[in-house]
Amino acid sequence: MKTRSFVSARMVAERAGVSRSAVSRTFTDGASVSEETRRKVLDAAGALGYHVNHLARGLRERSNIVCLVVSNMTTPIRARMVDIMTRQLQASGWITMVINTETDTESVSKALRQTLNYRADATVVLSGTPSASLIEACLANGQQVVLINRDDRLKGSSTLAVDNSLAGREALFLLQRAGCKRLGLVTSNAQTASLVERERVFVDIARAQGLNVTVTMAGPTTYESGADAARRLFGRSNGPDGVFCVTDLLALGFMDVARDEFGLRIPEDLCVVGFDDIEQADWRAYQLTTFAQPLEAMATHVVDLLNDSEGASSDRKLFEPIPIWRRSVRPGVKTD
C-alpha cells in the first residue's frame, strides 16, 4: 500500500544533520537559529521538497481555516460573492473550505459538522439556512460565525447585510419619478429575509401614498421565474407600467418576455428596476437599472472581523446598496 509519504521535519533534520527542533525553528519567525544551520536546513528542505504541515500546526494553535457555506453557486451574484470572498481571505492568509449546500436543512447540517471536524477558526454563511442549533455548536466550539444577508440574529455571531429597505424605497422613487402609474412587484417564493424586506418596504410606502401595487410571487429566484411572472402580469388587461423585480435574474427574464411576447418597449412602455447588479444587467440587450451590493467592502469587513477576532463579536453592520442608473427606467420627468 502506498502510504502517502509526505516529507516530514524529521527527515529534513536527518539529512541536514541537525535536530528536529532546528528545522522547526528555521520555519518559525523570530526563533533563534544560527545562519549556518538555517542554511543547511533550507538546503535539505529544498532537496527533499519539504512543506510545513499546517494540519499538525493547527493541532496546537489556530488552523487558519475558514468555512464558506454557500448555496446556488451558479447564480451570477453568488459566484461573485464567492470569488471576492475567497480572494480576500486568501490574500489575508486564510484558507477557505467551501461547503456547497442545497437549500434543504439536512445537507447544510452535514456540511457544518464538517466545519467542526476540521477545526475551522470561523464559519461564513453566504446562503442556505443552517439550523440555529448547529450555529450554536460552532459558537460553542469557539468558532467565529459571520452571517451575510440573513436575519438570524444569534448571540455571538456577526451579521452583515445590505440595507434592503433603502433599496425598496429608492426603487419606488425611481419608478415614480419616471412617471409610472401602475406599479408591479415581482418576487420569488424563496422568501429570504432580504427579499421579503425589499418587497415589504416597496409595497408599504406605495400603498401609504395611495398607489396600488400588483404583487406577483414567482418560483425560485431565476430567469425563468421572471419570464413566468411577466406572462402572468401581462396576460390580463391593464398590466403595470413600472415594475420592481427583487432580483436581477428575475428582471432579465421579465424584460425578455415583456418585449418578445407582449411587444412592450422598454423604457417607453415599461420601466424595470432590479437588484444585485449582476454582470448581465450591463449587457446591451438589457441595460437594467438596478442596485449594486458593495461586495468588496463587505468582504473587507469580514476579513477585518476575522483578523481582529477579539473585536466586539456580536454586532450587525449595514451596507448601503449603490443605485446603478441604466436605460430600463426613463430619466426623471417633470412632476406636474
Backbone dihedral angles phi then psi of residue 76, each to the nearest 5 degrees: -55, -45
Among 11, 14, 37, 79, binds its own copies (CB under 8 A): 79
25 lies in the site for DNA, by CB under 7 A: yes
* Piece of 81-89, 189-197, 240-248, 265-273 that binds its own copies (CB under 8 A): 81-89
Residue 249: closest CA among 76, 72, 73? 76
Pick what 95 binds: DNA, its own copies, none; C-beta below 5 to 8 Å, kind-dependent: its own copies
Backbone dihedral angles phi then psi of residue 289, each to the nearest 5 degrees: -75, 130
Residue 220: closest CA among 243, 244, 251, 188? 188
Q: How far is the CB of 97 from its own copies (least distance, A)?
A: 6
Q: Which is nearer to its own copies, 113 or 182 (CB)?
A: 113
Residue 310 near residue 157 (C-beta atoms within 8 A): no
Site residues for its own copies, 15-74, by CB under 8 A, read: 49, 51-56, 58-59, 61-63, 68, 73-74
Site residues for DNA, 56-85, by CB under 7 A, read: 56-57, 59-61
Among 39, 47, 53, 102, binds DNA (CB under 7 A): 53
Name, in order, each residue with C-beta under 8 angstroms of 273's C-beta and a sequence gap of 6 or more: 171, 174, 175, 243, 244, 245, 251, 288, 289, 290, 328, 329
* Piece of 18-26, 98-106, 305-313, 324-332 that binds DNA (CB under 7 A): 18-26
214 lies in the site for DNA, by CB under 7 A: no
Place of cell 428582471: 251
Pick what 20 binds: DNA, its own copies, none; C-beta below 5 to 8 Å, kind-dependent: DNA
133 lies in the site for DNA, by CB under 7 A: no
Name, in order, each residue with C-beta under 8 angstroms of 210's C-beta and a sequence gap of 6 or more: none
Q: Which is nearer to DNA, 3 or 237 (CB)?
A: 3
Residue 123 near residue 157 (C-beta atoms within 8 A): no
What is the three-class DSSP state of 185? strand
Q: Determine the Cα–Cα distance for residues 282 and 297; give it in Å rounded to an integer.
A: 21
Beta-bridge partners for 216: 186
Residue 156 near residue 308 (C-beta atoms within 8 A): no
Q: Which is nearer to its own copies, 95 or 132 (CB)?
A: 95
Q: Which is nearer to DNA, 38 or 150 (CB)?
A: 38
Name, in order, each residue with C-beta under 8 angstroms of 43's C-beta and a sequence gap of 6 or more: 16
44 lies in the site for DNA, by CB under 7 A: no
* Piece of 192-200, 202-210, 276-284, 322-330 that binds its own copies (CB under 8 A): 276-284
Pick what 116 binds: DNA, its own copies, none; C-beta below 5 to 8 Å, kind-dependent: its own copies
Among 24, 131, 214, 280, binds its own copies (CB under 8 A): 280
Residue 258: closest CA among 247, 248, 246, 272? 272
232 lies in the site for its own copies, by CB under 8 A: no
**179 DSSP assignment:** T
Contact residues for DNA (CB under 7 A)? 6, 8-10, 18-22, 24-25, 27-28, 31-37, 51-53, 56-57, 59-61
